[in-house]
Amino acid sequence: MTSLLISSIPSPHRGTVALGPVTIHMYGLMLLAAIVAAVAITGRRWVARGGEMDLIYRCAVWGVGAGIVGARLYHLATSWDQVPSQWWGPFAIWRGGLGVWGGVAAGVIVGAIVARRSGANVAVLMDCLAPALLVAQGIGRIGNWWNQELYGKPTSLPWGLKIDSIHYPAGVFYPPGTTFHPTFLYEMLFDFAAAGFLIWLGRRDRIRPPGLFALYVTLYSFGRFWIETLRVDPAHHIAGLRLNDWIAAIGFVAGLIWFRRTQRGGGNMPRLRRHKPKPAAPPPAMAVPKGRVRSGR
């Protein structure tokens, strides 16, 4: 019976797959899959509420680009000592180094600007996006597995993750056979479960937009805080806590306050669009003087 139990989770020795002359960076492929999933889920939820898919595509074109830039800038600002020293180092996103916090913030802000200029209700659209972001972030964590990065502390649990010694933090040695907490897997499962919860909650209760997005911020920050306590990769610390722990704690509190504020008061649920064009007034009827009217013969 014990032979059927998982002894460890293997890690790929390379983060690339060669298909003839083409080399596929699996981190980038997972990023692409995450984007496709986010667009598809958001679009389905938006269309189900009477919106148009064309708006989702337009928001995605600008939001995804801004998200990638924001995620990379966040990594460069908070983990500058982990960037390759070559001139191309700041642009080497295929080696990892995309900060979720910066990516979500930049992508959502730019996407909201596009949606607002189109006359759409940004709050409703954000609620459509909330579970899609969690699914996308979960898929993106598979890219960390391919790169053997962002793993946790050593563990003897049967689902411990194998890591090649070349990927150990600089100056750190672990005995042969050491396995580590698969934090990529923990976060992936947490993200998927949180996405399912938001979808279920949105169908069961009348949550005023953008309440679901506020809960997304709260839930993700809660899970990220716990997962950060397990990670052993280099990070800047403030008062004994990793920088991302502080950001997660702030996000958790801010998300709760935001959700509470969005649910205050009653009234009708917001419409899909912020404003509707007024129907054109019918042309005035032509007045005919009574003296000019001829009786029928």
DSSP 278: P
Residue 78 is predicted with a pLDDT of 79
pLDDT over 70 for what percent of the chain? 81
pLDDT over 90 for what percent of the chain? 68
**Per-residue confidence band for 273, with pLDDT thresholds at 50, 70 and 90:** low
Averaged pLDDT, 143-151: 93
pTM: 0.84
Residue 251 has pLDDT above 70, yes or no: yes
27 versus 278: the higher-pLDDT residue is 27
**Per-residue confidence band for 79, with pLDDT thresholds at 50, 70 and 90:** confident
Residue 288 is predicted with a pLDDT of 52
Residue 4 has pLDDT above 50, yes or no: no
Determine which of 10-14, 16-20, 76-80 has the lowest per-residue pLDDT on average: 76-80
**Per-residue confidence band for 83, with pLDDT thresholds at 50, 70 and 90:** low
Residue 160 is predicted with a pLDDT of 96
Residue 277 is predicted with a pLDDT of 45
Residue 214 is predicted with a pLDDT of 98
Residue 96 is predicted with a pLDDT of 59
Please state whether beta strands 179-180 and 161-162 pair in parallel, antiparallel, or not at all (unpaired): antiparallel
Residue 1 is predicted with a pLDDT of 41
CA 146 from chain centre, in angstroms, equals: 19
Contacts of 95 (CB under 8 A, 6+ apart): 27, 84, 147
DSSP string over 45-82: HHHHTT--HHHHHHHHHHHHHHHHHHHHHHHHHH-GGG
The C-alpha atoms of residue 193 and residue 295 are separated, in whole angstroms, by 79
CA nearest to 144, candidates 227, 78, 220, 38: 227
What is the per-residue pLDDT across 157-187, written as a single tens digit (0 to 9) for each?
999 999 999 999 888 899 999 999 999 999 9
Distances (CA, A) of 100 to 63, 106, 134, 135, 231: 14, 10, 11, 13, 16
Residue 93 is predicted with a pLDDT of 66
Neighbours of 8 (CB within 10 A): 17
User: Mean pLDDT score of the chain, rounded to an integer?
Assistant: 87
CA nearest to 35, candidates 172, 143, 164, 194: 143
What is the per-residue pLDDT across 96-117, written as a single tens digit (0 to 9) for each?
577 889 999 999 999 999 999 9
Residue 267 has pLDDT above 80, yes or no: no
Establish whether the linkage from the previous residue to 210 is cis, with ω within 30° of 0: yes
